[in-house]
Chain A
């Protein structure tokens, strides 16, 4: 069974702070996706990273895929209350998506 470990599990920060969440595995993935989920809704895709070492930016969010395609990170600059939510990473192989357990982020104004 392929596992994706996300850390930290919970994160509570003040508005304006920076943060990084991690997604690690012993398995190699062809690509990796990050989703964000708000209460009462399903997860929504933020980004897909495909190439080892790839860095993608989405406004204040920076996503990086590890060189060996086993890990990824999400960095948020100057967090805002609207960033609050559950962040999930998901690895793609030739089997259905494997999800991490998520990082629950709370940004306090």
Chain B
């Protein structure tokens, strides 16, 4: 593994509740990404970060926010979870903009 830990690995929550997913890396890589993976849609980028406090939106950012106060941690927050946000969420890191992505093992989120 490339030193990426996602927590929690599984979570069940109710509609309307806030949820925060954590991605922690020990590689000191600059770039960090949050993807969601759904059947029929593949991997879709939610938000990404290119440095501490530097973040940008991906293609499916509505309903999500992120924060990166330290190089090693990238947090994804669902302010008010909806059933459409039931998914598997993957964090990924990479050293340079054209380096390979290294993925965590995912967080399976179920919103009831």
Contact = CB atoms under 8 A, between A and B. Distances in A.
Interface of A: 1, 30-31, 33, 35, 40-45, 48, 88, 90, 92, 94, 96-97, 99-102
Best-surrounded residue of B40, B43, B45, B92 (most CB of chain A within 10 A): B43
B40 A101 contact: yes
Interface size class, chain B: 20 to 34
17 contacts: A1-B59, A31-B98, A41-B105, A42-B92, A42-B103, A42-B104, A42-B105, A43-B43, A44-B103, A88-B42, A92-B98, A94-B97, A96-B45, A96-B48, A99-B43, A101-B40, A101-B41
Contact of B101 (A1, A30, A45): A45
Given A42-B106, A45-B101, A90-B101, 5 more contacts: A40-B105, A40-B106, A42-B90, A97-B45, A101-B40
A40 B103 CA distance: 12
Contact of B106 (A41, A45, A97, A100): A41
Contacts of B40: 101
Nearest to B90: A42
B42 A101 contact: yes
A43 B92 CA distance: 10
Interface string B24-68: 000000000101000011111100100000000011000000000
Contacts of A88: 42-43
Given A40-B106, A41-B106, A42-B90, A97 B42 contact: no
Interface string B88-112: 0010100001101111111000000
A96 B33 contact: yes
Nearest to B92: A42
The 3 closest A-B pairs by CB, nearest first: A42-B103, A101-B42, A45-B100
Nearest to A97: B101
A33 B98 CA distance: 10
